[in-house]
Amino acid sequence: MAQQDDVFKKIVSHAKEYGFVFPSSEIYDGLSAVYDYGQNGVELKNNIKRYWWDSMTLLHDNIVGIDSAIFMHPTIWKASGHVDAFNDPLIDNKDSKKRYRADVLIEEQIAKIEDKIAKEVAKAAKRFGDSFDEAQFRATNGRVLEQQAKRDALHERYSKAMNDNNLEELRQIIIDEEIACPISGTRNWTEVRQFNLMFKTEMGSTADGSMSVYLRPETAQGIFVNYLNVQKTGRMRIPFGIAQIGKAFRNEIVARQFIFRMREFEQMEMQFFVRPGEEIGWFKQWKEWRLKWHKALGLGDNKYRFHDHEKLAHYANAATDIEFEMPFGFKEVEGIHSRTNFDLSQHQKFSGKKIEYFDPELNQSYTPYVIETSIGVDRMFLSVLCSSYEEEALPNGETRVVLHLPAPLAPVKCAVLPLVRKDGLPEKAREIVDDLKFDFATHYEEKDAIGKRYRRQDAIGTPFCITVDHQTLEDNTVTLRERDSMQQERVAIADLHKLIHDKVSLPSLLRKLK
Ligand code: GAP
């Protein structure tokens, strides 16, 4: 675990050093849980968004996109349930004055017990070697059984308290489990209170005429309230989807793990409207399609798992998360939810406008059911970054830091490097840049020795380096170096476009989704 922590720290500092992610407002000592994307980060982020957007709107002829405003009528958040129920239970430690999520403190306690069990199992596996039977060991070992019983009892008590929204019980669990504040080390806790995660601000210039509005905590509601507009103007027939990418804001109490949990972040959401009764089939279909989208990136099929929800929100009849193995464990990157007709019905009720679809095949009207796929851009960015980062030991004893980014997502696709800064090589290199730049993000670099320049491009994940040398002037060939294998081949300048395009183009990635 400590080793994983070290790797994660290195990734965070690499992200800063190479212009991917900066802490927000850094010269003013930063703003907690808010980050800025730098010159390479914004390109990687845009490429992720483009991959998602095209996979939705180009590959499905029944999905269209919108871009709704961040500010929306405040009643929308009443209708959606966010005003009353978008809360986290918080607790303060009176000595350190630090604020925690009560549920997170208890979940961490459960994780500690699970860790103890995992250590016992690992120790035994080492002792018994190939003959080790893990299932049997877990079912018979006294220490493991004792810890497992403790974990299950705590989990059950915690789940019940959360289901019943019993804040006193949550506090009592923290007291009974003797959970201490990591800063002060004391157990001097306040009561547990509900804390609404929405940011509120005022719209309008006069005190009397102003109205409280919220920064949207999800983009989905912008889709629901435009359902009729899009359905009518696009003459959409069910089943159809509406996709949107945009900022969302949540006043997270515990904002940690770099860009994993932020107060301002970006979502890519798609609401797929279906006939009532057909939603579970579509839910399964979207689970399959979304996992395929992730796996096509080649980050490692074993890094994904579904986490099906046992406890469902009252309006959902199926829900799952796609989790990705980050350096700090498997974590949710995307949620897929079958949300029934809850949201559209609520908006119908609160707005007084009829929100229905006339199904010509059934010759009847109904409020459509919805399958939602919701993925965090920043979490996707983090999973791509973490799984691409490698400190590679080279045969000559050196180490190179390389980002094995999926080529279509890389911020820079190719770098053109004159071997020396004289003899007409820079001019020839510039000519190549001027040709390639219309199709690919192309860098020109002439400073430092060629090896150093290769390393810099490896560190930002550039798939190809093109070196211009004296032979280039004679026969119009260059060396093309591939990032991962570091193989170099002599190729004609005239062939560069095709060679690069085959590897880096987004359509080549999208074709894998067929
Ligand atoms: N409309 C459904 C919805 O918003 P959610 O599970 O709350 O569902 C969807 O959020 C996705 O948004 C998550 O899977 C995650 O990737 C991302 N997300 C949520 N909160 C986030 C935060 N504070 N920072 C970064 N990403 C976040």
pLDDT one-digit tens code per residue, 428-487: 999 999 999 999 999 999 999 999 999 999 999 999 999 999 999 999 999 999 999 999
Q: Is the CB of 267 under 6 A from ligand 1?
A: yes
Judging by DSSP bridges, how do beta strands 414-418 and 464-468 pair with one another?
parallel
Report CA(375)–ligand 1 centroid distance (Å).
Answer: 7
> Which amino acid is located at 138 in the chain?
R
Mean pLDDT of all residues belonging to the chain: 95
Backbone angles phi, psi at 328, to 5 degrees: -105, 30
- Ligand 1 nearest-atom number relative to CA 252: 23
The predicted pLDDT at position 206 comes to: 66
- Ligand 1 nearest-atom number relative to CA 337: 2
Q: Count the helix, strand and coil residues of the chain and give each as a percent rounded to the nearest 5.
A: 45, 25, 30
Q: Is the CB of 220 under 6 A from ligand 1?
A: yes
Q: Is the CB of 378 under 6 A from ligand 1?
A: yes
The span from the CA of 354 to the CA of 345, in Å, is 9
Residue 514 tokens, joined: 């067929």
Residue 355 tokens, joined: 């929100």
H helices within 359-492, ranges in order?
A: 377-388, 425-436, 450-460, 470-475
Report CA(270)–ligand 1 centroid distance (Å).
Answer: 13
The predicted pLDDT at position 414 comes to: 98
Q: Is the CB of 252 under 6 A from ligand 1?
A: yes
pLDDT at 69 over 70: yes
Residues sharing a CB contact under 8 Å with residue 95, sequence separation 6 or more, in sequence order:
181, 184, 186, 188
What percentage of the chain reaches a pLDDT higher than 70? 99
Q: How far is CA 365 from the centre of its chain?
A: 37
- DSSP secondary structure letter of residue 199: -
Conformational region of residue 255, where left means phi above 0, alpha means psi within -120 to 50, and beta covers everything else: beta
The span from the CA of 201 to the CA of 74, in Å, is 11
Which residue in the block uniquely carries the two structure tokens 């390109």? 43
Predicted confidence (pLDDT) per residue in 187-212, tens digit: 999 999 999 999 999 998 766 677 89
Report CA(255)–ligand 1 centroid distance (Å).
Answer: 13
- DSSP secondary structure letter of residue 215: B
The span from the CA of 419 to the CA of 470, in Å, is 8
Q: Is the CB of 250 under 6 A from ligand 1?
A: yes
Residues sharing a CB contact under 8 Å with residue 150, sequence separation 6 or more, in sequence order:
113
Please give the average per-residue pLDDT across 262-288, as a whole number: 97
Nearest CA to ligand 1 atom 12: 376
Candidates 215, 245, 379, 382: which one to mutate for ligand 1, based on the most atoms within 8 Å of Cβ?
379
- CB contact burial 457-483 (16+ within 10 A = b; e otherwise): bbbbbbbbbbbbbeebeeeebbbbbeb
Q: What are the Cα distances from residue 427, in Å, to 75, 266, 277, 416, 417?
A: 62, 42, 65, 11, 11
Nearest CA to ligand 1 atom 25: 261
Give yes or no for a contact between 137 and 129, defined as CB atoms under 8 angstroms apart. Answer: no
Report CA(379)–ligand 1 centroid distance (Å).
Answer: 9
Which residue in the block uniquely carries the two structure tokens 């979940």? 107
Please give the average per-residue pLDDT across 132-157, as a whole number: 94
- Ligand 1 nearest-atom number relative to CA 219: 1
DSSP letters for 251-268: --SS--TGGGS-SEEEEE
Reduced to 3 states, what is the DSSP secondary structure of residue 423? Answer: coil
pLDDT at 5 over 80: no
Confidence of residue 2 (pLDDT cuts 50, 70, 90): low
Residue 460 tokens, joined: 């930002």
Report CA(335)–ligand 1 centroid distance (Å).
Answer: 8
Nearest CA to ligand 1 atom 21: 261
Residue 80 tokens, joined: 């959606």
The span from the CA of 356 to the CA of 364, in Å, is 10
Give yes or no for a contact between 376 and 260, defined as CB atoms under 8 angstroms apart. Answer: no
- Ligand 1 nearest-atom number relative to CA 250: 23
- Residue 378: exposed, middle, or buried by beta-carbon count in 10 A (0-12, 13-18, 19+)? buried
Q: Is the CB of 332 under 6 A from ligand 1?
A: yes
Residue 183 tokens, joined: 């800063």
Q: Is the CB of 379 under 6 A from ligand 1?
A: yes
The span from the CA of 134 to the CA of 146, in Å, is 16
The predicted pLDDT at position 310 comes to: 79
Predicted confidence (pLDDT) per residue in 376-407, tens digit: 999 999 999 999 999 999 999 999 999 999 99
